[in-house]
Structure 1
Amino acid sequence: MLFRKIEHLIEDHIRSGSSKILLIDGARQVGKTYIIRHVGQRLFHNFIEVNMVEDSLGERLFANTRTVEDFYLQISMLAGNKMKAKEDTLIFIDEIQAYPHLLTLLKFLVSDDKYTYIASGSLLGITLAQTTSIPMGSIRKVRMFPLDFEEFLYANGMNDMVISMLQSKFQKLESLDEEKHNKVMGLFRKYLLTGGLPDAVNAFLDSHNIQRVREIQNEIHDYYAADASKYDDERKLKIRRIYDLIPSNMENKKKRIFAQDIEGKRGKTFDNYQDEFEYLVSAGIAMNVQAISNPVFPLAESEGKNLLKMYLNDVGILSSILYGNNARAILDDVRSINLGSVYETVVAAELLAHGHKLFYYDNRSKGEVDYLIDDFDSLSAIPIEVKSGKDYSIHSALNNFVANADYHIKKAYVLSNNRKITCKGKIIYLPIYFIMFFQNFVKDNRNLII
């Protein structure tokens, strides 16, 4: 099975005896159900799984369940023989967003303390916002993402010793030798093709058939585009339009979403589409990057609301849309192909999965810098520029940014295909694959206590 880092988090939470229920949020098809089932069946003799979407489409046993006693009764109808002692019974509530009232009920299940629970779902940000009684102090909400590049390396045979070696090289700013660089870079290019959706990764590992991988990615992409079941038809169309615009926007120089392009109507602003953007981000199928014109720590205090970039949640889906079955466009690093949007998508996904909020620098006169992240050690911003071509050392906007004394920049990164790690002033040039170690240990937005 695929190695997922979140497995350790799930197991540690369960073994800790925490009174909080672990709630795994994330886009569909990222592997939430599989990894929870894997851990639950391994740790508990009595594992009970209930899918609330399936129930809502079928018997609707839990549609009107508002009390602990009623919940136990419905569970007993499905698996009464497995309702044993707390330490040996795990009840997994899957797709809990289908019944928002069950989120409120979690608080009372915690107080009753009769069984061990874990829950998962998608759109939980929106569902919690619309829940009349948020179970404060009863939930530990964690977001799950597609496989990141480090997990992809494990899937392709890398072990802890190799990953530790790579991390040590990153921390010491030491370049890999040519052979190791080519190996890791080759796997990185394959990751651009497969992305991190488990079904696509497994298809790649099993068959190495790009057509099979693309079929899975296209199917999931279509599913994401069509799935906005909580909205009426008019809003669904707007969501679909914004989602469909993302890949084409990636090919534009600015890469920004323009509100008037969504429906082709002049005068429209981002305020007209707040719910649609919120859906795409909360569903986990798109990543939003907010503009910053005054990059002062902490960046969240300066974010702009009307200049927005959006990226697809999975780089494999994007490369499928852009290049179809032509794997050579990426694997051979064809000079005529601009991989900028693909590289930027990988970096966005890695930063987000590693606990960073996504920002970029926008200044009409001084240009743009691809990403900004908070540096909690120096209490300043770190600019990151992503380069997919040979001209990785050309970046006038980044030079101006770093040279601005008002910004108090301590260091900046340029990520590219180049093997050698070099430092020129405050700018550090790194191979693109080292983005997998840009972990935010201070503020990890995958781990929220509410």
Structure 2
Amino acid sequence: MSAEGSVDKPQPSGIVKGCEERYRSLFENSLDAVFLTRPDGMILEANPAAQQMFGMTEDELKAAGRDVIMVHDERLDAALRERSQKGRARAELTFRRRDGSTFQGEVTSGVFTDADGTIKTSMIVRDISERRRAEGAIRSNLEQFQRGIEDAPIPVILQVEDGEVLQISKAWTEMTGYTIGDMRSFDEWVDKAIYGEGANEVRDHLHGLFEGHERSINIELDVRSVEGERKNWSFSASSPGVLEDGRRFIVGMAVDVTERKRAEEELKESETDLLLSLKASRSMAYSMDPTTRTVHSMKGVEWLLDYEPNEVVLSLEWWNQRIHPDDLAMCRAAFEKIAERPGEHKLIYRVQSKRGEWLFVEDSATSLDDPTGKVTRIIGTVTDITDRKRAEEEIKRSNDELQQFAYVASHDLKEPLRMVTSYLGLLERNAASCQDHKAR
């Protein structure tokens, strides 16, 4: 800060010193080999990573120069020409270590002029030997895989990112009727063989694989064979690598799930029929584990007790909270018996609906046991029998009234008979006391 309060600007020498320090830190700590060189190949400086990579000290690298540590070939000549013309170049070249062994390296080099006007070059080298070995292994495995695809027991496809189909299995052809000749373009096959929106879904997922947005996909498709037969496929795919020409490829596999889908549809229809039957009879069906007290399902409870589906909690406690307090102890005792004894059980008790109405229900439970005789599952139905109970009570009331009427009627009919009997007895006594036999 000057006397006038203004901020002193850094001197140019300070800026240069700061830049040099940052450069030196990057130079010393880089994981890649970094060289400061002259255009003719003389090495001026080499960082620690370069010394380790080539197995030489910095002085040995300076003495060796570019001609010793780099294998002279067409790729090197092309890279030097590119750097001379454009001021920078990037290439994959072959390098030589102190012990004479070679390795593949990715090099980036540029030309610059230093502070005193001297033209210099920089060179950054990254050892890509492991990457190249991995790519070679992938290529070898890919060739073996291509040979193995043909005899795969399920439909398998090998496709590259531009849509070209390289290989399909015999099972693919047997299942769809399409040969490799019909599938040179995967997009064309998708248009022919996949129904509706499924075609766009496949394209979107494959694009995500090739772009790296998705690691793998697993989708279900409706596929049409050459003969027009419709099948359901579970299709899985992933992109494990790239080909020698740099194109990414994917491997896709399909499983025919047509029968499974048909069975699922039939099961769904059966469940729908069951739910309609439960609704018509104002019943619910339940399943639970008596050991853990876990309720697995309560189908139909929403119309039995007038609850919304999202208001129902699958728990024994939730159900017990709706049982009439006078019936709860009986129900709990009955549950313990049901949980211990395999077989069929029936119980009648009262539960409260969402509207507050008390309903009479008949709980018909079946306890299922394992080979040891232990009850492992309880299934059953709960049916609203309120109308039946009311009818039974009405019949009982009518019977009681009828019995009362019969009693009263019987009493009223017997009273005149008793009077007649009394009069007859009186007449008999009078006649017995009379002397006149005619009067008798």
Task: With the length of structure 2 as denominator, give the TM-score of the two structures.
Answer: 0.19
- Higher relative contact order by CA 8 Å / sep ≥ 6: 1 or 2? 1
Task: With the length of structure 1 as denominator, give the TM-score of the two structures.
Answer: 0.19
Higher strand share: 2
